[in-house]
């Protein structure tokens, strides 16, 4: 059974002979790992202690009070 490298989709050798299994090479392993970390770090960190912006009612009627 030939496992395919998750990174480049080439046949990757089994573990005893292939230290980077299930990847075909250490490089592919790094690539996949980097992709993983990249996606994690891509999560935008927003300040938790920032006050949530209050949505203003768009249908707020402009009150025109004419003086009598
Ligand atoms: Zn590969």
Q: In the prediction, which pLDDT does 68 show? A: 65
Ion ligand 1: residues, CB within 5 A, are 5, 7-8, 24, 28
- Whether the per-residue pLDDT at 4 is higher than 80: the answer is yes
Cβ proximity of 22 and 1 under 8 Å: no
pLDDT in tens, 13-52: 999 999 999 999 999 999 998 888 887 656 566 666 766 7
C-alpha 3 – ligand 1 centre gap (Å): 11
Q: Give the Å distances, CA to CA, from 38 to 4, 25, 30, 60.
A: 22, 20, 12, 44
C-alpha 33 – ligand 1 centre gap (Å): 12
C-alpha 37 – ligand 1 centre gap (Å): 18
Pairing of β 11-12 and β 3-4: antiparallel
């Amino acid at each position: 059974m030939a496992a395919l490298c998750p990174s480049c989709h080439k046949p990757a050798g089994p573990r005893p002979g292939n230290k980077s299994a299930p990847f075909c090479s250490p490089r592919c392993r790094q690539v996949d790992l980097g992709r993983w970390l990249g996606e994690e770090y891509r999560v935008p960190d927003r300040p938790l202690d920032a006050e949530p912006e209050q949505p203003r009612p768009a249908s707020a009627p402009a009150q025109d009070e004419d003086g009598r």
